[in-house]
Amino acid sequence: MHREMSTRFTQFAKEKKFLLGVSERTVEWYESSLKWLPNENPTTEELKQMVVAMREHKLKPSGINCCLRAINSYLHWNSGAEGKCTPMCKHPRVSRLKEPQLQLPTFTNEQVKHLIHYRPKTKGQRRLHLLVLFMLDTGCRISEALTLRVSSIDFENLLVALMGKGGKERKVPFSFELRRAMFKYVSDFNRKPEMLLLASRNEVQLGRRDTLRDVKQLCRGLGFEPPIRTLHSFRHSFAVNYLRRGGSVFHLQKCLGHSSLEMTKRYANLLTEDLQAVHPKVSLLAQL
């Protein structure tokens, strides 16, 4: 059951923020997840009852596992162990629940065509369209797109420096088509190097909720219903198409900024039509 943050929990969140440089959203995730713990030093039995309580509150396995990642991180930290958590650690930990293997939400090729060929008229529409093109072409997180400054774009070498989770910077390539769209937007609206590429009328960062609302409205205006997890679906679409067109999973990991290859391998489970298209080429019955 949710409870107030204890001193120990608060110290954990502070160290993650000030010593490891995690984002405010990550700190909020830690704080929200840790409120499920019954106390600062839970026993294995208490951890089991905590998971039961989560299920009784109708949380989905994916949502519970999200909380458990934060809780296991706290349990490791609370034990005083150094480095990453390993099977050799003696502190209590919670096993993740089995999740159904759902298809990652993506935009269809037809929907992507509609988004790319959309013809915006106003400045706000052009800003939204550029955001869509940027996410489709780079596979970035929405937070990375909304915090991007013009100075981080290398127009000559077609590279953009993105600030990812934990303050980690990575350079991601982009297409000549995206370069043309960004260059025209920067030129038409006099975007200076120190400015955000995409900003509100008051030159402040766009809000995630407002952006989600605008993207959904754009999709519906183009005649289709947006996929679930709409903003993250751009990232999924980029990743699936990257692999579908022959890109390496190792290079994809660098583009997406994943800390481990396991996270990237999820995208190797391509869509059903990809499997159907490949099967005649690998079937023994079709060759013998």
168 lies in some domain: yes
Structure tokens at 276: 């159907």
Residues 125, 254 within the same domain:
yes
Which pLDDT score, from 0 to 100, does residue 288 have?
Answer: 57
Which pLDDT score, from 0 to 100, does residue 269 have?
Answer: 62
Residues 72, 118 within the same domain:
no
Residues 124, 237 within the same domain:
yes
209 lies in some domain: yes
d(CA 221, CA 144): 26
Comparing CA positions, the residue from 274, 251, 273 lying closest to residue 264 is 251
Residues 130, 267 within the same domain:
yes
How many beta carbons lie within 10 A of that of residue 134, not counting itself? 23
Residues 37, 140 within the same domain:
no
Residues 48, 123 within the same domain:
no
Residues 178, 259 within the same domain:
yes
DSSP 165: G
The domain that contains 167 carries what CATH number? 1.10.443.10
Residues 70, 176 within the same domain:
no
The angle formed by the CA atoms of residues 142, 77 and 261, to the nearest 5 degrees, is 45
19 lies in some domain: yes
Residues 116, 198 within the same domain:
yes
Q: Which residue has the tokens 């960062």?
A: 205
Which pLDDT score, from 0 to 100, does residue 284 have?
Answer: 64
Q: 269: number of CA atoms within 13 Å, CB side?
A: 10
How many beta carbons lie within 10 A of that of residue 136, not counting itself? 20
- What is each CA distance from 266 to 57, 104, 202, 239, 261, in whole angstroms? 28, 9, 39, 10, 9
Residue 234 domain boundaries: 109-272
Single-letter residue type at 187? S
pTM of structure: 0.75
Secondary structure percentages of the chain, helix, strand, coil, to 5: 55, 5, 40
- Structural domain total, the chain: 2
Which pLDDT score, from 0 to 100, does residue 1 have?
Answer: 47
156 lies in some domain: yes
Residues 69, 149 within the same domain:
no
94 lies in some domain: no
How many beta carbons lie within 10 A of that of residue 153, not counting itself? 22
Residues 74, 127 within the same domain:
no
Which pLDDT score, from 0 to 100, does residue 91 have?
Answer: 94
Which pLDDT score, from 0 to 100, does residue 258 have?
Answer: 85
pLDDT (tens place) for every residue of the chain, 288 residues total: 445 568 899 999 999 999 988 888 889 999 999 999 999 999 999 999 999 999 999 999 989 999 999 999 999 999 999 888 988 899 999 999 988 766 778 999 999 999 999 999 999 999 999 999 999 999 999 999 999 999 999 999 999 999 988 778 999 999 999 999 999 999 999 999 999 999 999 999 999 999 999 999 999 999 999 999 999 999 999 998 888 888 888 898 999 998 777 777 777 665 556 666 666 766 667 665
d(CA 85, CA 130): 41
Residues 237, 181 within the same domain:
yes
288 lies in some domain: no
